[in-house]
Amino acid sequence: MKKLLGILVLVLLSSSSAFASNLNPEKILNSVDDIYRSNASYGVLNLSVTTTNWQRTLTLEQWSKGKDKHLIRVLKPKKEKDLTTLRVDNNVWNYMPKVKRVVKIPSSMMASSWMGSHFTNDDLVKQSRMVKDYTFSITYEGKREGKNIVEISCFPKKDAAVVWGKVEVIVYRDDFIPLRIIYYDEDLQLSRTLDFTNIQMMGDKMIPTQMTMIPVDEPGESTAIQWKKIQFDLTISDDFFSLRKLQQ
Amino acid sequence: MNTKREIVSLQNVIKNYGHGEIITKALRGINLKILAGDFSAMMGPSGCGKSTLLNIIGGLDRASSGEVIFNGKDFNILSNKDLSIIRRNNIGFVFQNYNLLPVLTAYENAEYVLMLQEIPISQRKEKVMYFFKEMGLEGLENRFPRELSGGQQQRVAIARAVVSEPLLVLADEITANVDSETAQSLLELMKKLNKNNKITFLFSTHDPAVIKFAKKIIILKDGKIANEQMSSENIEKYTQK
Amino acid sequence: MKSKLLMIIKIGWLSIWRNKRRTLISLFSIVIGTGIPTFFVCIAWGFYAGLIDDVARLMSGHVTYEHIDYRNSPSNDLWVDDIQKINKTLNSNAEVLFTKQIVNLQGVAHTAKSSVGISLMGIEPSKEITISFLPETIVEGEYLSEGDGRWVIVGKKLAENLNVNVGKKFVFTTNDVKGELVEELFRVKGIFKTGSKEIDGHFIQSDIELARMVAGLSSDDVSQLGIIVKNPDTHERFLREMQKTLAKKNGVFLSWQQIMPDVATTIRMDRTAITSIMVLLVVIVLFTMFSTILMSTLERKREFASLLAIGTQQIELKLQIFIETIIFGLIACPIGSLLGVGVAKWMEGYDLMDVVGGKTEDMTVGGFGMDTIITPLFSAPLILQISIFFFLAVQLLSVLPVYLISRISITDELRSI
């Protein structure tokens, strides 16, 4: 009996190490980080914010270059049309069309909600790679709810400027397209989940066209991003992401 | 032969009270002399002007017209302050209600005027003790007015009036509030002071007892002196019989 | 002359006691009138002195050296340099008790649960222990020590809002001196509780080296150099001297009133309130006294007239009245002062909140919690000032009887009854 159990453990251990050797978690995490990124891209998306009191949808267009430059402009609703957010490196500016002024978002505002959503200004700015701030390992590989998935558990490095205690990244086993990212706080209590759905071919790339953020401590609330259009590998000059451009 | 010094001289003194239509004529032309050593009593019915005349002689009030000469000084041309200084130095007052300072002892009340005159303490004591002895107030020095009988209070008041040995002591109805026996002794006292210390007295009174003592009687009627001709000698003879 | 004055004083003194009850009521009203503001002032000034000292020691001293524009917008990129030299000079100045080097950073603390705007103050921990009261308010964990690195202390309220405990982490987002966004991981070493909403909810402290590292400042740079002086009363003069001799072109020495105008304004307003109370009391006292003095003059009119008749000068009578009010003041004002001081002394050490039955947290001035333990300040010049103020107010009252005396008609008063 003892022997039997020992063999079983050995088999399990060797099988898990076999998975690890097959799959490179660093590669998977980078591909998740880069899912919507390319050298330069353009896209149109709907941002739907649901709170217990109200629900609203914004239509936005966005340009990006690399991981440091973003320009986001509101298309709809009319009231907020042309409200533009520029992010270059660690800095975020808002252009208010009504008063025709550019306002730099100070660090103290970084934690504030971006356009009333469950994303913060900081979420927009955040560009660090998972692999840099976390130690990680594959903690599950196989079928779950009928899907063939890989689960990578990430634990923040000792001094990494990360609020989470643990992040679980779940991707499809076949193409590493993300399925769900689960964030836990320092006490490993569930904090929020980010669901990726509606995988479609868009801009010559298979991507989840909908992303839904569900905070745990605000039941019934969520923010969803739905890509309407996306183009990858465009050529956009650096000048495009400038304050001058912002005001135009 | 009259060589006595003239202390007070009134010439046609008139005093009117009130304004406009309603004028009370208190004095209607008084001519009067008071000489050193006089012991005169001024008599007359209520409202005849006794108090008014006394006030004018004492420099407490001013005549409406006429001349008031006190010790050679014309009261009409003196300021209130000057009058006050003359009162302090040359006139003693004795009031019907004694008007002693209740917070001071008998001794201190008598000493008060001497203090105002800034007389040194040794002389003050000497003078006060002398007059207290003269007036039979020995042993009462440290009593407060409320601890004294009416007669004793009036004696203290007299002591206060005479202690600085003024030229003239004005005594207004001083026997009105004491019994006749006490009045008698007060008058004897003053007579003694008049005789021994040469203090001149002028009384205003209703009291016939006073008249017996007076050397000279001035009868006042309707603001005028009714018996100017009555000499002191005549009265003396008359009253001493 | 001397004996006459003595006699007048004596008569004045004796006259006061002719109506003992009335006199005692008057004396009582002056005693209370002087005593209440004296008491208030001792207690309140004690509180303020304590508050000013606490706040100065907790924050940036009685006098602060900082960038000339820092007051207008306390942004992270306004700092002063050459601090080690300036600090050395200051520490050799006889008027300086302590100096504290401070790096302030405005930013945001985030955890998985929430984000809160906070102010980080980097200090020298071993010095701070001797200067500030904050180390004494640690309720969980420990206060900082040198070389603590990422370990910081946070307020109780902030800890609750961020949902952190001792040992837990949070991310601090701020701008460095170049304006770049920086994010750093901090860990909670200790939790303090001061009773002030503002400080307990939005304030953290770290070793100055951590703050310098986050901000990108050198060891010769600070946001503020706080100076705790030996005598806070003369700090204005001290700061003018320092401004002349020590300030660099971009630096300025400021007083705590300029640094913390809210505290200064509140204290000023409170002082105004006390002054108003004082004025009100003066009116009440004068009113009580007025009737006393009026009555005692009116009922002695006849007596005054007889004194005038026998040759007392008006001026001598007026002097007597004047002396009577002086005696009132001389007796009552010092007793009032002593009473005020005595009651204040008696209450020393009690917790004001126990006395009035409130909560310590309610007592804040300009966002700073007050130490509610009563520690009166007995400032002789101030106490004397109040006493003299009431004394002079009482003297004003002698104007009335003096006027009445000048109007006395001797003949009317002496007319036989």
Residue C121 is predicted with a pLDDT of 94
- Chain A residues with CB under 8 Å of C115 CB are 111-112, 120
- Is residue C19 domain-shared with residue C119, that is, in the same domain? no
Residues C410 and C385 in one domain: yes
Domains of chain B in start order, with CATH, are 6-239 (3.40.50.300)
What value does the mean pLDDT take over residues C98-127?
90
What's the mean pLDDT in B175-184?
Answer: 84
CA nearest C181 in A: which residue?
Answer: A90
Dist CA B207 CA B215 (whole Å): 15
The alpha-carbon gap from C333 to the nearest alpha carbon of chain B, in Å, equals: 25
C225, C259, C293 - which closes a domain: C259
- For residue B233, pLDDT beyond 70: no
Chains A and C physically touch (3 or more Cβ atom pairs below 8 Å): yes
The rounded distance, in Å, linking the Cα atoms of C319 and A229 is 103
Cβ separation C4–B115 shorter than 8 A = yes
Q: Check whether residue C358 and residue C245 sit in a common domain.
A: no
Q: Looking at the partner chain, which of B87, B103, B115 has a beta carbon nearest the beta carbon of C18?
A: B103
What pLDDT is recorded for position A16?
Answer: 43
- B15 touches C at CB < 8 Å: no
Q: Which of C224, C259, C294 is the last residue of a domain?
A: C259
Long-range contacts at A156-161 (CB < 8 A, ≥ 24 apart): A157/A133, A159/C150, A159/C185, A160/A132, A160/A133, A160/A134, A160/C185, A161/A133, A161/C171, A161/C172, A161/C183, A161/C184, A161/C185
pLDDT tens readout for residues B84-100: 999 999 999 998 888 89
A122 to C110: CB separation less than 8 angstroms, yes or no: yes
Q: Is the pLDDT of residue B207 over 50?
A: yes
Lowest mean pLDDT among A109-118, A201-210, B123-132, B189-198: A109-118
User: Is residue B200 over pLDDT 90?
Assistant: yes
Encode pLDDT of A114-147 as tens digits. Answer: 777 777 776 666 656 788 889 998 898 888 888 8
Yes or no: say if C170 and C183 are a contact pair by the CB < 8 Å rule.
no
Predicted confidence band at A12 (pLDDT cuts at 50, 70, 90)? Answer: very low
For A35-66, how does the pLDDT look when each residue is reduced to its tens digit (9 = 90+)?
877 778 888 989 888 888 888 888 989 888 87
pLDDT at B136 over 90: no
Q: How many CB atoms lie within 10 A of CB A51?
A: 15
Residues C226 and C297 both lie in one domain: no
- All chains having 3 or more CB pairs closer than 8 angstroms to chain A: C
For residue range C185-224, list pLDDT tens digits in order.
Answer: 999 999 999 888 888 999 999 999 999 999 999 989 999 9
How many folded domains does chain C comprise? 2
Give the integer Cα–Cα distance in Å for B192 and C243.
91
Residue B101 DSSP class:
-
The Cα A180–Cα A166 span in angstroms is 14
For range C306-316, the mean pLDDT: 90
> For chain C, what is the mean pLDDT?
86
Average pLDDT, chain A: 81
Average the pLDDT over C39-66 and give the result: 86
Are C239 and C293 part of one and the same domain? no
Highest mean pLDDT among C160-164, C180-184, C255-259: C160-164
Residue pair A53/A247 in contact (Cβ under 8 Å)? The answer is no
User: CB pairs below 8 Å between A and C: how many?
Assistant: 68
Which ranges constitute the DSSP H helices of C299-398? 301-309, 314-347, 352-356, 380-396
- The set of residues, in sequence order, having a beta carbon less than 8 Å from that of C175 and lying 6+ positions away, is A106, A107, C75, C76, C77, C107, C181, C182
Over the stretch C225-272, which tens digit does the pLDDT of each residue have?
Answer: 999 998 888 888 888 888 888 888 888 999 988 888 888 888 888 778
Q: Cα–Cα distance between C122 and C211 in angstroms, integer?
A: 5
Predicted confidence at residue B128, as pLDDT, reads 93
Q: Which of B58, B116, B176 sits opposite C4 (nearest CB)?
A: B116
What are the residues whose beta carbons fall under 8 Å from the beta carbon of B224, sequence distance 6 or more?
B27, B28, B29, B30
* Residue A110 sits at the chain C interface (C-beta within 8 Å): yes
Q: Which residues of B touch C1 (CB under 8 A)?
A: 118
Q: Average pLDDT of A163-168?
A: 90
Q: Is A85 helix (H, G, I), strand (E, B) or coil?
A: strand
Predicted local confidence at residue B220, as pLDDT: 87
Position B19 pLDDT exceeds 70: yes
Q: Is residue A206's pLDDT more than 60?
A: yes
Whether residue C301 sits in one domain with residue C245: no
Residue A17: pLDDT above 70?
no
The A residues from 211 to 240 touching C (CB cutoff 8 Å) are: 217
Q: Do C312 and B116 touch (CB under 8 A)?
A: yes
Same domain, C64 and C107: yes
Size of interface B-C (CB pairs under 8 A): 77
Whether C96 and C241 map to the same domain: the answer is: yes
Chain C contact set for B58 (CB, 8 A): 309
Q: Which of residues 102-141 of B touch C (CB under 8 A)?
A: 102-104, 112-113, 115-116, 118, 121
Provide the angle, in degrees to the nearest 10, between the axes of the packed helices C261-298 and C301-309.
70
Q: B202 falls in which pLDDT band (50, 70, 90)?
A: very high
With beta carbons under 8 A apart, name residues in chain B contacting C302. Answer: 99
Rounded CA-CA distance C376/C348 in Å is: 6
Q: What share of chain C has pLDDT > 90, as a percent?
A: 26
| Shared domain check, C269 and C208 | no
Q: What is the pLDDT of residue B125?
A: 93
Task: Give the domain-ending residue among C231, C259, C287.
Answer: C259
Does residue A236 have a pLDDT over 60? yes
Average pLDDT over residues C12-32: 87
Residue C386 contacts by C-beta under 8 Å, 6 or more apart in sequence? C34, C37, C38, C41, C278, C337, C340
Grade residue C356 by pLDDT with cuts at 50, 70 and 90: low
Instruction: Specify which residues B9 forms β-bridges with.
Output: B33, B69
Residue C112 has its nearest CB partner, among A89, A106, A191, at A191
Please check the confidence at residue B57 and state whether its pLDDT lies above 80: yes
DSSP class of residue C136 equals G
Give the pair of three-digit tokens for residue B75: 């009261």
**C324 against C286, higher pLDDT:** C324
Give the pLDDT confidence score for residue C368 in this predicted structure.
62
Judgement on whether residues C225 and C326 belong to the same structural domain of the protein: no
Chains B and A are in contact, defined as 3 or more C-beta pairs closer than 8 angstroms:
no
Structural tokens at position A105: 């978002």
C38 and C147 both lie in a single domain: no
Given the DSSP bridges, would you call strands A222-231 and A205-215 parallel, antiparallel or unpaired?
antiparallel
How many residues in total does chain B contain?
A: 241
Apex C231 CA angle, C229 and C234, nearest 5:
95
Contact A107 C111 (CB under 8 A): no
Residue C306 has pLDDT above 50, yes or no: yes
> How much is the pLDDT for A80?
79
- Percent of chain B scoring above 90 in pLDDT: 45
Task: Tell me: do C276 and C254 sit in the same domain.
Answer: no
Q: What mean pLDDT comes out for the span C304-329? A: 90
For the full predicted model, state whether its pTM sits above 0.90: no
Contacts of B83 in chain C (CB under 8 A): none
Mean pLDDT of B136-162: 92
Q: Which domain holds residue C65?
A: 60-259
